[in-house]
Amino acid sequence: MNRLAAVLLSFVTVATAAERPNILVILSDDQGYADAGFQGSKEAPTPHLDSLAKAGLRCTSGYVTHPYCSPSRAALLTGRYQMRFGHERNPYYDPTNHREGLPVTEKLLPEYLREAGYVTGWIGKWHLGATPEFWPERRGFMETFGFIGGGHQYQNWQVNPAAEYRVPICRNGQPVEVKEHLTVAFGHEAAAFVRRHAAEPWFLYLAFNAPHTPHQPTPERLAKFEHIQDKQRRAYLAQISLMDDAIGEALTALKETGQTERTLVFFFSDNGGPTYVGANNDPLRGMKGTTYEGGVRVPFVVSWPGQLPAGKDYALPVSSLDVFPTALACAGMPMPTDRPRDGVNLVPFLRGEYTSPPHDRLFWREEEQGQWGMRDGVMKLVRRTKAVSTEGGRYSVSPLAGRAEELFDLGSDIGEVRDLAATRAADLQRLSATLDEWNNQGAPLAFGGTKGKETPPPKVRSRNGKKTP
């Protein structure tokens, strides 16, 4: 089967092959590529995520579309590269600003699934706009629980609607009191949603803010990592552990209500880990905020017992863009044709029905820090017009004289160590021209975002004798 035929057929619905499944999308926040048991970590035990990976497929080339929070989430919920609608920055938290948010001209995944008869729920972090028209209740979610901003205190906070990390936690748009650790609360809410809707198809977007800073694990959980000498990494790992238990609570609810085999589950991080606050992206180069692999390649699992293979690795590139068309296909809905969509239905690829790659090419653009990326087969182009520096223990960005382009062969160099730009000039020219073509499809910025307004990043430190890129 040729590539075009495979892609076109990948959009065909799969609902006739089995009962329409529930769809559970679990998102972690700033989790390092290496920081999960199923990724081989001995420092980050994640037994519940490991069980999910064992019941499904570990996608070892799983990507998101942007190296930080809000743009990545915007692409996930639209099935479109965020540059197509100008959502390329984190919206500045301002409950009076009607521009700073995911443009309302974009119709989100829960809106389509709601039309298909699904109960739709959101739990956790939003970060897609603070004024009412951007709220999840207005974007297709029938049941909601979480916070609107880009981050939040985990425990013992004093509510302040004007302070992004201390805004109220709301259920269905109304403030509620949360006394327990926020990650624990999200696990309880997810399990309750699963149990409440056991008799009907549902879609749940479970978007944790863990292990994003501030690192505030419970004292009991922190004590379990007292053998980790670095205090910052110790707290970061404790937060991952709390998140894993919360995920385990939701998975247990699936099992106890007999829904495991009729639930399609995605798990991945919203972007690569920030090494300067404890994350480990080994063996990848780079971190959150960069278009090297460490910024955009993430822990990624897809599970659907009885419908997808179990306990296997899938090495071909997949993307968070694929959640949208996969969910619609499983719900028996056709893909909308009103505008370009950039994902594919992964089911036939993961089943082995199609042996071609789901994506010939993937692209990244982080325009604030002057970074682009493109993967074509195993070849990866990284373009920079600015330099990211950690000299003196501070994170800074400065313009380059012109632009720098690097070329890597990910098939033999996953760590992007050997720049092949000088020896493979034809490949470099081809990929650079293709990246230019894609780059020109972008829309103007929809909002200004946090540029020049956010708190400076924390001090950068080395881990295991390695300098952060």
The token duo for 303 is 């599970």
Catalytic residue among 87, 127, 212, 359: 127
Residue 69 annotated in active site: yes
Inter-CA distances, 466 with 36, 43, 119, 308, Å:
20, 17, 47, 39
The token duo for 436 is 């230019």
Amino acid making up residue 185: A
Catalytic residue among 48, 59, 66, 69: 69
The token duo for 19 is 């009962």
User: How many CB atoms are closer than 10 A to CB 410?
Assistant: 18
Using DSSP's 3-state secondary structure scheme, residue 25 falls into strand
Cα–Cα distance measured from residue 75 to residue 210, given in angstroms and rounded to the nearest whole number = 20
Cα–Cα distance measured from residue 368 to residue 452, given in angstroms and rounded to the nearest whole number = 10
The answer to whether the beta carbons of residues 269 and 299 sit under 8 Å apart is: yes
Cα 424 vs. chain centroid, distance in angstroms? 32
The answer to whether the beta carbons of residues 240 and 278 sit under 8 Å apart is: no
| String of DSSP letters for 173-230 | TEEE---S-HHHHHHHHHHHHHHHTTTS-EEEEEE--TTSSS----HHHHHTTTT---
DSSP conformational letter for 427 = H
DSSP conformational letter for 344 = -
Cα–Cα distance measured from residue 459 to residue 85, given in angstroms and rounded to the nearest whole number = 33
Residue 170 annotated in active site: no
Cα–Cα distance measured from residue 165 to residue 217, given in angstroms and rounded to the nearest whole number = 16
- Interior CA angle at 357 toward 51 and 336, to 5°? 90
Backbone angles phi, psi at 356, to 5 degrees: -75, 160
- Interior CA angle at 236 toward 53 and 302, to 5°? 15
What is the set of active-site residues? Answer: 69, 127
